[in-house]
Amino acid sequence: MGTMYQLLTDSACDLPLATLKEKDVGIVSFHFEVEGQQLTDDMGASYDIEQFYAQIKQGVMPNTAQINIGEYVNFFKPYVEAGTPIVYVGFSGGLSGSLSSATQAKAILLEDHPAAVIEVIDTLAASAGEGRLVLEAIRLRDAGTPLAELVAWLNANKLRLQQWFTVDSLDYLYHGGRVSRTAATLGTLLNIKPLLDVDPAGKLRMVGKVRARKKALSALAEKLLEALTSDPTQPLLIATSGDWPAAETVRDLVLAKAPDANIQIGPIGLTIASHTGFGCVAAFVMGAAERQ
């Protein structure tokens, strides 16, 4: 069924590329540099993600670059010129300047095309959390929801998205300016495994510390089970930067108590994995209440 608008997202949404293509969602790419190589995060089309995980496991620190205004103008322009309204479901403005670039690109395009409809949605989310909201946008579009209603629903419900994750080491989050040196040093010294989430402003925060990796994974499973009650049939996304057994542990802990849960495990893409390092495990679910 043809809808009268185009859904767009970016490469940090960590959904399978095949899903986005099949569901006709346009993608704009972040960039990153690893060991002097400038690369485009095209969601694995030109780069072996397992090779990348092996590099960060060895301690290689990649750098990421946000999507600039010009790239957003070029991304939006063909739709605007064709008269197609667009809804861009984007990476958290609390974690990257990319969303602000998208908003500025919108303003530039509206100067030449004042009648254009360009909706930029700050998901206040990252990785498959952003992807989880893209799935909601696809669900609404496929049900024939008009553009204004879809945008209103996403903005009204995006804070119900819960995003929980743990990392093996805080060094990468420190390197990327996401946690303080004190937090990173203490974590390493005490072998503390942090439990983190994304706050209502779309920024990372530490919400708990446990002494062992296994406990951190159990905590993720508990958070998922708690939120799952609001809609037991919803897709529940687990993502990892290379530690597949850990992701499967979380899945199995959830299935032990909710055997019918619809769980999808996928890779954390290059942009986010550059900031988490190897072995991040993240879990995403829509809860009943907004996150506080």
Q: Is there a contact between 49 and 270 (Cβ–Cβ < 8 Å)?
A: yes
Nearest-10 crossing angle of helices 147-157, 127-142: 150
Is the confidence at residue 176, as pLDDT, over 90? no
Cβ atoms < 10 Å from Cβ of 5: 19
Q: How far is CA 103 from CA 94, 171, 201, 227, 256, in A?
A: 14, 32, 17, 32, 44
How far apart CA 120 and CA 75 sit, in angstroms, is 13
pLDDT in tens, 122-151: 999 999 999 999 999 999 999 999 999 999
Amino acid sitting at position 96: S
Average pLDDT, stretch 151-180? 87
187: pLDDT confidence band, cut at 50, 70 and 90?
low
Model confidence at 287: pLDDT above 60: yes
One-letter amino acid at 167 equals V
> What's the rounded mean pLDDT across residues 88-92?
97
- Find the mean pLDDT for residues 189-194: 77
Which of 2-6, 55-59, 284-288 has the weakest average pLDDT? 2-6
CA-CA distance, 158 to 169, in Å (whole number)? 29
Tokens 């942090």 map to which residue? 194
Q: What does the pLDDT read at residue 189?
A: 66
Average pLDDT of span 239-249:
98
Q: What is the pLDDT of residues 93-127, one digit of tens each?
A: 999 999 999 999 999 999 999 999 999 999 999 99
Tell me, what's the pLDDT at 199?
94
Q: Give me the mean pLDDT over the 232-246 stretch.
A: 97
**What pLDDT is recorded for position 188?**
66
The answer to whether 84 and 147 are in contact (CB under 8 A) is: no
Give the model's confidence band at 1: pLDDT under 50 very low, under 70 low, under 90 confident, else very high: very low
Between 28 and 204, the more confident residue is 28
Q: Can you list the domains of the chain with their CATH numbers?
A: 6-158 (3.40.50.10170), 160-286 (3.30.1180.10)
CA distance 238 to 61: 24
Helix 244-257 with 213-228: angle, nearest 10 deg: 40
pLDDT above 60 for 243: yes
Express each pLDDT in 216-234 by its tens digit: 999 999 999 999 999 999 9
Pairing of strands 6-10, 25-28: parallel
Task: Convert the chain into a string of H (helix), E (strand) and C (coil).
Answer: CCCCCEEEEEHHHCCCHHHHHHCCEEEECCEEEECCEEEECCCCCCCCHHHHHHHHHCCCCCEEECCCHHHHHHHHHHHHHCCCCEEEEECCCCCCCHHHHHHHHHHHHHHHCCCCCEEEEECCCCHHHHHHHHHHHHHHHHCCCCHHHHHHHHHHHHHHEEEEEECCCCHHHHHCCCCCHHHHHHHHHHCCEEEEEECCCCCEEEEEEECCHHHHHHHHHHHHHHHHCCCCCCEEEEEECCCHHHHHHHHHHHHHHCCCCEEEEEECCHHHHHHHCCCCEEEEEECCCCCC
Q: Residue 178 pLDDT > 90, yes or no?
A: no
Q: Is the dihedral of CA 268, 27, 94, 232 positive or negative?
A: negative
Please tell me the distance from the alpha carbon of residue 271 to that of residue 260, in angstroms, as a whole number.
Answer: 32
**Residue in 93, 150, 141, 95 with CA at minimum distance from that of residue 119:** 150
Q: How far apart are CA 242 and CA 131, in angstroms?
A: 18
pLDDT at 14 over 60: yes
Q: Is the pLDDT confidence value at 172 over 90?
A: no
The predicted structure's pLDDT at residue 181: 74
pLDDT at 182 over 90: no
Max Cα distance, the chain (Å)? 57
